[in-house]
Amino acid sequence: MKNSKTKFTLSQWIQIFKRGRKFYHLADLMKLSGLKLDAARKAAYRLVREDILVKLRPEFFANSFCNYQAEEVANTIYPPSYISCETALFHYGVIDQAPFVIVSVSTRKSRRMRVKNNAFIYHKMAFSLFWGFTQKPGFRIAEPEKALLDWLYLMSRKGLKPSLDELNWEQLNKKKLRLYARRFPKYVIKSHIL
C-alpha cells in the first residue's frame, strides 16, 4: 500500500485498470492506492476527466478498459433492481421494437438516470412483486412472462391500457404466465389478458 503522501500517477492507475475489474467504489480506489478520502476523490475526478473511469453514481465508477454492457450498469447503479418491461420483452423477442431506454424495476422509488449515452428508468415495484428474474452473466433480468406482467401492472397503475396485438405470444410460456399472474392484483389480469 502506498503512503498517503505519495502521489499516485496516471500511469500507475492505468496499469491497475488495464488488468482490473469492471466496477470500482471510491473505497476500492483508496485501498488500491493508499490515498486518503479527499485525495482519492480528486484522483477519481481526474480519472473520469481522462476517460479512464466513467462515473456511474457518486463514488461508484466503471472501468473504461473493460467491456461492460449497459444492462450491467442498470443493475449496478440502482440496486436492488432487475431489467424488466419493454427492455426484457425485447431481449426475449416478445416485442420487435427496441426501447430507447433500459427499463428496470426496483423496490426503491421510481427514478430516471443517464450515464454517458444510456438512459435508465427504474419503476418502483412492491416488494411482494419483486421476483421472477434470472441472473445472466453480469445482470439480472425478468423472465419473459414476469416482464410482461410487470409491464401490464405498471401500465395499469398509470391508467393506461397497452396494445397487446403486436406481442410475439409464441415466445411466452402460457402456463407460467397464468401461474405468475395469480400473484398479481386481479385488476391487472382482468383488464389485459387472462
Amino acid (one-letter) located at 57:
R
Same structural domain, 76 and 59: no
Q: Does residue 51 sit in the same domain as residue 120?
A: no
What pLDDT does 64 receive?
Answer: 95
Residues 93-118 pLDDT 10s: 999 999 999 999 999 999 999 998 89
Are 50 and 78 within one domain?
Answer: no
74 and 117 co-located in one domain = yes
Does residue 115 contact residue 56 with C-beta atoms inside 8 Å?
yes
Q: Which helix (H) or strand (E) segment is 105 a member of? A: strand 102-106
| Residue 129 shares a structural domain with residue 177 | yes
pLDDT at 143: 99
Which pLDDT score, from 0 to 100, does residue 193 have?
Answer: 57
Q: Are residues 74 and 103 in the same domain?
A: yes
Query: In b/e form, how buried is each residue of 17-26, taking b as 16+ CB within 10 angstroms?
Result: beeeebbbeb
| 160: Cα separation from own chain's centroid | 25
Question: Is residue 41 domain-resident?
Answer: yes
In this prediction, residues 128-148 reach a mean pLDDT of 97
Instruction: Indicate whether 53 and 74 sit together in one domain.
Output: no
Q: For residue range 36-88, what is the model confidence (pLDDT) as tens digits?
A: 999 999 999 999 999 999 999 999 999 999 999 999 999 999 999 999 999 99
Report yes or no on 4 lying in a domain.
Answer: no
Q: Are residues 133 and 181 in the same domain?
A: yes
Residue 60: the pLDDT is 96
| Residue 31 lies in domain | 10-63
Predicted TM-score (pTM) of this structure:
0.87
- Written as nine digits, the cell of 4 is 498517503
Distance between CA atoms of residues 7 and 10, nearest Å: 10
Cis peptide before 80 (omega within 30 of 0): yes
Q: Are residues 90 and 45 in the same domain?
A: no
Are 35 and 94 found together in one domain?
no
Residue 6 scores a pLDDT above 90: no
Question: Does residue 182 form part of some domain?
Answer: yes
Domain shared by 128 and 82, yes or no: yes
Residue 55 sits in the same domain as residue 78: no
* Any domain includes 20: yes
Total tally of structural domains belonging to the chain: 2
**In this structure, is residue 2 part of a structural domain?**
no
How far is the C-alpha of 145 from the C-alpha of 169, rounded, in Å? 10
Nearest Cα neighbor of 60 from 68, 122, 126, 137 is 68
